[in-house]
Amino acid sequence: MNKLILIFLFVSGLLLGQEKVLFKTISYNNLIKIYNTILGIENEDLEGNIERCRFIIKDAEHKDDYNTALAFNFLLKGLTDANSTNDKNQAFLTIYQESDYYIFYDSQNNFIARMEKLKLEEQISIHSDKTETYIWNYFYMMQD
């Protein structure tokens, strides 16, 4: 009987012990800062950011530059979401860590994608542990 209990506890520990742990949270403020840094903007409010982003998208589409349009559409969604929330420190992106994976969730806590731990760690080693690294990986996973 004791062996049966020990086996049950061991199997339960294996199955239930795979909890995800919060790894990184990227806020709307982080996203706004990255957007302003990319464009070299210093003193523009969020409404101005949104209008500029829309202009960039229209211009890129007019020039058949679909990669730029796609990237700025992604940023536009984040900026408009940031504009509709009162708390800009709210999570735009949340990343949890499991034993072999990093799991990405959007601002509504919806599952986006799972990335192998080694792949993300490789990206971090190449691009460093910066907010941009996580946001661009999130962007690429959203495209899949």
Q: Looking at residues 138-142, what average pLDDT do you find?
A: 86
User: What confidence tens digit (pLDDT) does each residue in 38-91 have?
Assistant: 999 988 999 999 999 999 999 999 999 999 999 999 999 999 999 999 999 999
pLDDT digits (tens, 9 = 90+) for 86-131: 999 999 999 999 999 999 999 999 999 999 999 999 999 999 999 9
Q: Is residue 108 part of a domain?
A: yes
Q: Provide the terminal-to-terminal Cα distance of the chain, rounded to the nearest Å.
A: 50
Give a yes or no: residue 115 inside a domain.
yes
In a domain, 5, yes or no: no
Tally of domains within the chain? 1
Phi/psi at 68 (nearest 5 deg)? -65, -45
Give me 30's structure tokens.
């982080």
The answer to whether position 7 is within a domain reads no
